[in-house]
Chains A and B, each alone.
Chain A
Amino acid sequence: MVTADIHVSEGLSDHAEEHDDHHQNFWTKYVFSQDHKIIAKQFLISGIFWALMGGFMSLIIRLQLGFPEMSLEWLRPVLGGWITEAGKLDTEFYLAMVTMHGTIMVFFVLTAGLSGTFANFLIPLQVGARDMASGFMNMLSYWFFFVSSVVMLVSLFIGTGPASGGWVIYPPLSALPQAMSGSGLGMTLWLVSMAIFIISTLLGGINYITTVINLRTEGMSFSKLPLTIWAFFLTAVIGLLSFPVLFSACLLLIFDRTLGTSFFLSDIYIGGEALPNSGGSPVLFQHLFWFLGHPEVYIVLLPALGITSEIIATNSRKPIFGYRAMVGSLLAITLLSFVVWAHHMFITGMNPFLGSIFMLLTLIIAVPSAVKVFNYLATLWRGNLRFTPAMLFSIGLVSYFISGGLTGIFLGNSAIDIQLHDTYFIVAHFHIVMGSASFFGMIAGIYHWFPKMFGRMMDEKLGYIHFWLTFAGVYMVFFPMHYIGIAGYPRRYYSFTNFDAFNSFTDLNMFITIAAIITMFAQFLFLFNFFYSMARGRKAPPNPWGSNTLEWTTPRLPKHGNWPGEIPKVYRWSYDYSKPGAKEDFIPQHIPFSETPESNFPHEDAQIKLRAGDDEAIVIEDKE
């Protein structure tokens, strides 16, 4: 606590000076800004750009799958030589699209776009800090991400095409340019881009962790942190521990590709020659990849769960049910996420005994996830629900979390996984539980904190239409894939006509494609709403949702430093909604118990007495 105080007061004096004279020019204010709010917006806009790119890629994939006979000649102005002379999509380009769609959505949209935006924006505002622990590192984090984005974007336009070996880039396919053209320069750029991306994530993550630990305002003990902050904090911890492993995997793969080492290569005969590599193991790469890859699922999901916890509590006008259980399950998920990775590898020839162990651990992780769902339901129960667009998207998230979480129980069972592995069942599962749920968390966050970000309100009616189209659309796209998966259709197939076993369901595939197109275009409602409201939206009141957290105590458009005066102190947890006896249905965190005698519980009254004489009483309260 003492160290925190020193930091806070230092930060205060620094920034107070900065406020007095506005020496910042356009470049330092909007481009190379060290203000966490600007950096958050930079991540957000980049994330939206990448989401659009990834979305359009998925439409190209869906067009091929839904209308395999259709001439795609009309895409030639965009795709050029990737449309064959017959007007069809190039088979290898199809795989490139699958790969880039996955990479972009997982890393650039749902990691950088989600964590980057909301961890940056909310951590200082909700813990009561002037800015991140290191504004400079925070700025570097964004600009490393920007460089990595540019490299990835460039790889889309090169002659041999972008990386095409699936977002998991399993060697030897990704290591050997002879195996497919995307494994040439495209793969090199992919690896370079991801290496830079990992640096960006680590810089960001260290900052998030440091800020949460050291810069909490007075009274903001860990047990009073909003669940959003808990989620961002644990996400950063997961990222910090797992991304370096992907970095090492990328590095070793770069060595295999350029220096002739054999970490992942052995006994290969390709392109008419036997390669000298021997002794390497492609399965080793898979272990390294999934040691990041599985925690990565939680890196994209936890922030979304944190955001929805906050939004559901606020808009139910009820405390989140089982705060401690929510934190506990976040901690359990964090821990378990590191010991389940090999459930992606049940049928890679890995020792079956390992398969048994990982199956056991995988199904254990379902318990904290189930607890979270029950807690959400209990929070809604007997609430007083305000359906803001953010609330709708949060309820949508809970629905996806249920649907996709339950199918995870099939896949975590190694015996069932034999049949379902690498079929559309998997595609359905992770698109619902990881893709759509996290995406909904992100959208919910934007609707909820837009007033704080841009000082204006988004249009609610457009938000409602956006929600219902997207919510139904996502189910229409991904739910039918379960059936296709149960029927055994393998993923990453350019066409199914070669096999008797996979040659029905043309109508269902067509249906999915049409649903995907509609869902994609519904997002333009959001985009319009987003940019229009930024300029012309209704001006936001200071606390539009009647929320308890600290960010709503700042001015409408907080300057660098967030609070013009002193940083508010925190006296209570952030979930005092509809407290019995209270005048209003919410009591913000910075209101001391002494001001709310009518609603205090006996132990809270006791704290007033303790605090009366001695400010150190906070420490005592922490232990409570």
Chain B
Amino acid sequence: MLKVVLIVGVLLLVVILVLIFRINTLFGVVKKPEKKIESLSNKINGIMFLVFLVIFGTLFFWYSYTYFDEYTIPIASEHGAVTDNLFWITTAVTGVAFVILHVLLFFFSFKYHYKEDRKAFFYPDDHKLELVWTVIPAIVLSILVFTGLKAWSDITSEAPSDSEIVEIMGYQFAWKLRYPGGDDKLGSYDYRLTMAINPMGVDFTDQNSLDDFSPGQMYLPKGKPIKFQIRARDVLHSVYSPHFRLKMDAVPGMPTSFWFTATKTTEEMRLETGNPDFNYEIACAEICGQGHFSMRLIVVVLEPDQYKKWKSEQQSIIQREPDLMRFVPDNLKELALIKSGLEKSPKANENINSVNEVSASM
């Protein structure tokens, strides 16, 4: 019933509006058969541009200023400070241009609205002026480009050799992580080896894989270069962490990487933001299917010594899923038992070294 009333109401409203419009136009025809160009509405439109300029200009400055802390997010990486700096330089340059050009546009629109007794100024070109306003943007843009190029090549340069390596694999709809174990080397992988107990397709015939571990949450050390090795298992994803100013696509069949240095631990960030529940997050930034909006991964940044401690406590992939031992070739089985931590001998470390030597000589 309510729906019917609504529909009838809307229809009536439309009919009334149309009638008003019709009456208005009929009056218009009777009142002024010859339309003058220098009309009231022409003037009003001119004034409206000024009104628009004032209202929207005020809104722009008011919101940008008042809500600054809401729409800017703290920086937690070294390169983030650089790119944010570039962002604000560009904002300053474009902001000035934005304001000046709009003031001119709307002011001219107001000032030069039609007057019967004025004739427009015949001004087809002015080469000097045109040259000036071609060269100025060119110079300003060149400066922006060159600062940008420097930052870009620094950010995308080769990761330092002492970087902490973390592998991130995107899949529908979450992330899997892999860290190298004590040997600091990630083992190889092959997507054809993927199965329920080996979701990342780790190749256990590679002895470097034997001590790799795969935690559910990401832990990172502060102040140390970190290299993300990024890949995807099914469709495109994109590793995106707003606070680290970090984004890199995860592409099936084409591993990518991104390195950065975190500058604030989670604890420090909690203090800074005043939010005791603050957590760094990784999100997906490339459309990947219906769960695209839910690929959340929590990242915890620790002090370096805390990180070392955390890392030493992790169980390897094989240790968590001993079934995987059947994929380890016979000649590595003994090594696997030790490296993965399945068999804890008091002399574990020595053993690893000696077996390493044995296998290396084999």
Contacts and interface: CB of A to CB of B under 8 A. Distances in A.
Contact of A578 (B120, B240, B249): B120
Interface string A216-241: 00000000000000000000000000
Interface stretch (B48-56, B178-186, B300-308, B322-330): B48-56
Contact of B243 (A374, A375, A403, A501): A501
A427 interface: no
Contacts of B19: none
Contacts of B64: 483
B25 interface: yes
A280 interface: yes
A88 B46 CA distance: 45
B335 interface: no
Interface string A349-382: 1001001100110011011001101111110111
Residue of B93, B144, B151, B281 with highest tally of chain A CB at under 10 A = B144
B94 A410 contact: yes
A268 interface: yes
Contact of A170 (B56, B67, B121, B236): B236
B145 A468 contact: no
A60 B290 CA distance: 16
Nearest to A178: B234
B245 to A, nearest CB: 5
A147 interface: no
Interface stretch (A31-39, A253-261, A489-497): A489-497
Nearest to A278: B253
B297 to A, nearest CB: 10
Interface in A464-512: 464, 468, 471-472, 475, 479-480, 483-484, 486-488, 490, 492-496, 498-502, 504-505
Contact of A418 (B48, B129, B155, B289): B155
A355 B152 contact: yes
Contacts of A87: none
Contact of A385 (B82, B112, B129, B256): B112
Contacts of B148: 359, 413-416
Nearest to B294: A498
Nearest to A324: B125
A317 interface: yes
A412 B316 CA distance: 43
A292 interface: no
B291 A91 contact: yes
A459 B52 contact: no
A568 interface: no
A55 interface: no
Contact of B98 (A91, A172, A402, A471): A402
Nearest to B55: A472
A492 to B, nearest CB: 5
Contacts of A488: 73, 242
Nearest to B84: A419
A283 interface: yes
B253 A266 contact: yes
A366 B29 CA distance: 48
Nearest to A181: B290
B170 to A, nearest CB: 12
Contact of B242 (A374, A471, A501): A501
B79 to A, nearest CB: 8
Contacts of B248: 347, 349
B152 A359 contact: yes
A367 B153 contact: no
Contacts of A356: 149, 152-153
A173 B235 contact: yes
Contact of A319 (B87, B122, B149, B249): B122
Interface stretch (B101-109, B218-226, B337-345, B346-354): B101-109
B145 A380 contact: no
Interface in B175-201: 191-192, 194, 201
B62 interface: no
Contact of A274 (B115, B194, B296): B194
B86 A415 contact: yes
B253 A363 contact: no
B52 A472 contact: yes
Interface in B144-163: 144-145, 148-149, 151-153, 155-156
B309 interface: no
B90 A166 contact: no
Contact of A399 (B46, B91, B102): B102
Contacts of B31: none
A287 interface: no
A173 B293 CA distance: 15
B61 to A, nearest CB: 12
A281 to B, nearest CB: 6
A483 B121 contact: no
A486 B234 CA distance: 30
Interface in A507-550: 528, 532, 538
Contact size range, B:
35 or more
A385 B105 CA distance: 12
A492 B294 CA distance: 12
A266 to B, nearest CB: 3
Interface string A389-400: 000100100110
A406 interface: yes
Given A360-B149, A366-B141, A415-B82, A399 B105 contact: yes
A461 interface: yes
Given A91-B290, A364-B141, A382-B123, A422 B233 contact: no
A409 interface: yes
A269 B194 contact: yes
Residue of B63, B67, B130 with highest tally of chain A CB at under 10 A = B130
Contact of B120 (A317, A376, A423, A480): A317
B254 A395 contact: no
A461 B20 CA distance: 13
Contact of A422 (B104, B108, B240, B246): B240
Residue of B86, B245, B292 with highest tally of chain A CB at under 10 A = B292
B312 interface: no
A322 B125 CA distance: 5
A152 to B, nearest CB: 19
Contacts of A385: 42, 46, 109, 112-114
A498 B254 contact: no
Given A416-B148, A419-B247, A501-B243, A371 B252 contact: no
Contact of A490 (B119, B240, B245): B240
B45 interface: yes
B125 A377 contact: no
B141 A409 contact: yes
A136 interface: no
Given A170-B236, A381-B123, A492-B292, 12 more contacts: A266-B252, A278-B253, A318-B123, A347-B247, A348-B249, A363-B145, A367-B137, A385-B112, A395-B105, A464-B41, A500-B278, A578-B121
11 contacts: A325-B130, A371-B134, A384-B115, A386-B42, A387-B41, A399-B105, A410-B91, A413-B152, A415-B151, A418-B83, A501-B73
Interface of B: 18, 21, 24-25, 29, 37, 41-42, 45-46, 48-49, 52, 56, 60, 63-64, 67, 70-73, 80, 82-84, 86-87, 90-91, 93-94, 97-98, 101-102, 104-106, 108-109, 112-115, 118-126, 129-130, 133-134, 137-138, 141-142, 144-145, 148-149, 151-153, 155-156, 172, 191-192, 194, 201, 230, 233-236, 238, 240, 242-243, 245-249, 251-254, 256, 277-279, 281, 283-294, 296
Interface of A: 91-92, 95, 98, 165-166, 170, 172-173, 176, 179-180, 265-270, 274, 278-283, 316-325, 347-349, 352, 355-356, 359-360, 363-364, 366-367, 370-371, 373-378, 380-387, 392, 395, 398-399, 402-403, 406-407, 409-410, 413-416, 418-419, 421-423, 459-462, 464, 468, 471-472, 475, 479-480, 483-484, 486-488, 490, 492-496, 498-502, 504-505, 528, 532, 538, 575, 577-580, 585
Across the A-B interface, give the 5 residue pairs with the lowest CB-CB distance, nearest first: A266-B253, A352-B156, A488-B242, A349-B256, A387-B45
